[in-house]
Structure 1
Amino acid sequence: MKKTIKVAGAIIHNEANDILCALRSNTMSLPNLWEFPGGKIEEGEQPKETLRREIQEELGCDIEVFDLVEDTSYDYGNVIINLRTYHARIVADKPVPAEHAALLWLPVTSLQSLVWAPADIPAVQHIMAAQTEITVSA
């Protein structure tokens, strides 16, 4: 049976409602693919706690975590990743990449211009669809 790794990702919005995208570095698995920052959920930890800890470690800033956006499992062949993504916003400091090759703030409508890690794609599609609904109903 394949190992399933539970991870949490933060869909961080700024005041302009742009989304923080993180480019995986050459030293990470899935190099040069974009993702929502976050990390592995430790034993006994809640996903929102994971995100606050991981964002502090990876980006050096504090976030407030909101609602669950997507709960996705993706089979990478050697391992299954269960990714839970949450809306979040920065409440202290500015994000600086400690592990990622780059950070980029993008409008929701431009997210599809990046090449995303497969497990992140359902969350990208979800927030793009939600943004379209908001635009249409406005």
Structure 2
Amino acid sequence: MITKVTCALIEQYGRVLITQRSETMPQAMLWEFPGGKIEEGETEEACLVREIQEELNLSITPLQRLTPVLQTYGDKTIELIPYLCQYNSGAIRLAEHRSYHWVQPHDMTSYNWCQADIPIVQEYLAMAAEQFLGNK
């Protein structure tokens, strides 16, 4: 059985929000894009809005779906579905995570990421490079 999980790449002022998993979570202390499991009857976008509100106290708007990633962790397989998101409002209040950083794209590779997030980081960096070249 595959568990569908969404994650948000929340952009603000040229930076992206990343969160560090707590000591008590699976993949403890690794970095990830925040998000969570899709509930029965919930759309991907509604899940993201709800999870980011619950976990971080932020209001966001999902803008663009990126390439989903299939990842197996032990006996569990997830489909991680990333979205580029716009930050709307709120001050970060961590409910589950240990820490958070707003990072510039070129700094993303210096973090120790959860396995499922690595292809998303790569896709985002490729998009950022393409956008940068397009603006020259």
Please tell me the TM-score bracket, short chain as reference: over 0.9
61-70 or 128-137: bigger deviation:
128-137
RMSD of aligned C-alpha atoms?
Answer: 0.9
2:92 is the counterpart of 1:92: no
CA positional deviation for 1:110: 0.8
Structure 1 runs of 4+ aligned residues shifted over 6 Å read none
2:17 is the counterpart of 1:20: yes
Gaps of 5+ in 2: none
State the aligned residue count. Answer: 135
| Aligned mates of 1:90, 1:98 — CA distance in 2 | 18
The superposition leaves residues 19-62 of structure 1 with CA deviations (integer Å, 9 ceiling, x where unpaired) of 00000000111101100000000011111000000001000111
Counterpart of 1:42 in 2: which secondary structure? coil
The corresponding residue for 1:10 is 8
Counterpart of 1:112 in 2: which secondary structure? helix
| Aligned mates of 1:45, 1:104 — CA distance in 2 | 28
Q: Percent identity?
A: 37
| Aligned mates of 2:19, 2:86 — CA distance in 1 | 15
Q: 2:76 aligns with which of 63, 75, 79?
A: 79
Gaps of 5+ in 1: none
The corresponding residue for 2:102 is 105
Q: TM-score, normalised by structure 2?
A: 0.95
